[in-house]
Amino acid sequence: MPRRAIENGVRGKRMYLYAITDRPEAPVPERVGLSRASLLSLAYLNIAAVVDPLVTMEVAPTEANLWEHEAVVEALMEDRTVLPVRFGTALADEAAVQAALAARYANLVANLERVRGRVEVGLRVLWGDDPPPATSDTQGRARSGGRAYLLARLEKERLARARRQRAEALAAALYGTLAGVAVESTQQVLITPRLLLTASFLVERDQVATFRREAEALSAVYPALQFLCTGPWPAYSFVTTAGLDVDLEGATG
């Protein structure tokens, strides 16, 4: 049975949230949370919030704490559907957590159904198509005069547009292939000059190996590109836990 806050003598303590889950009857992992206390499962109907009773007012956003938060969420996703909650989210006490679950029940259930049996896989693709070197405006005027300078600026803009078009066409080819393996996906092109494509894919668990094979095949077709595939992760990019993201500094209790 889930550990209950009242059974562990923590009624009234601030609750740090890791995830919303289905299967509230399932035992939580035998591990401690960020406060070094045992995890608790607070149920509402057929969903639950997995929490950690805080003994301090703050959880510092250190790399170690971020990874610990992630480790708890990943442990939960081994045997249940999870909606990961943003790092640093806390509510005033057990009653506030259950009230939040009740108020957002329909949204949370819909999101659980959206990601049931699915995981997130991330992809970054780097390319070496460097942008044309920048030329100092002052140097351009002095060297070439006004008309030549304007022509040079126009040429620079033309090259930048052409580069952007190459990037979008190439990213579309890559993204289109991998999106075919996914249920849902999102993408961004040229976040930085070197980062051709950043994408997240919601993939059925049993299709993760297929997704990786497709990514490896694309890597063989485009040897000049560098493919960085990560996951499977909890579906951070495809869920909404709106209203639960109360910062520790803003929580009351």
Write the pLDDT tens digit of every residue in 66-114. Answer: 999 999 999 999 999 999 998 988 898 999 999 999 999 999 999 999 9
Indicate the pLDDT class of residue 128, thresholds 50, 70 and 90: confident
* Predicted local distance difference test score (pLDDT) of residue 39: 92
Non-local CB neighbours of 224 within 8 Å, separated by 6+ positions: 127, 128
Tell me: pLDDT of 241 over 70: no
Q: In terms of C-beta density within 10 A (0-12 exposed, 13-18 middle, 19 or more buried), how is residue 165 classed? A: exposed
- Which residue matches tokens 């990601």? 115
* Predicted local distance difference test score (pLDDT) of residue 32: 82
Tell me: pLDDT of 200 over 60: yes
- Number of neighbouring beta carbons within 10 Å of residue 60: 11
Q: How many whole angstroms separate alpha carbon 53 and alpha carbon 73? A: 16
CA angle 205/222/168 to nearest 5° reads 85
* Predicted local distance difference test score (pLDDT) of residue 8: 46
- CATH architecture classification, 119-236: 2-Layer Sandwich (3.30)
Q: Where in the chain is the domain with CATH 3.30.70?
A: 119-236
Six-digit token pair at 42? 């607070």
* Predicted local distance difference test score (pLDDT) of residue 157: 78
Indicate the pLDDT class of residue 119, thresholds 50, 70 and 90: very high
Q: How many whole angstroms separate alpha carbon 63 and alpha carbon 47? A: 29
* Predicted local distance difference test score (pLDDT) of residue 145: 66
Residues 191-211: what's their mean pLDDT? Answer: 94
Indicate the pLDDT class of residue 13, thresholds 50, 70 and 90: confident
* Predicted local distance difference test score (pLDDT) of residue 253: 33
| Integer CA distances (angstroms), 120 to 50, 51, 108, 144, 199, in order | 20, 22, 18, 53, 10
Alpha-carbon dihedral of residues 141, 145, 151, 157, nearest 10 degrees? 0
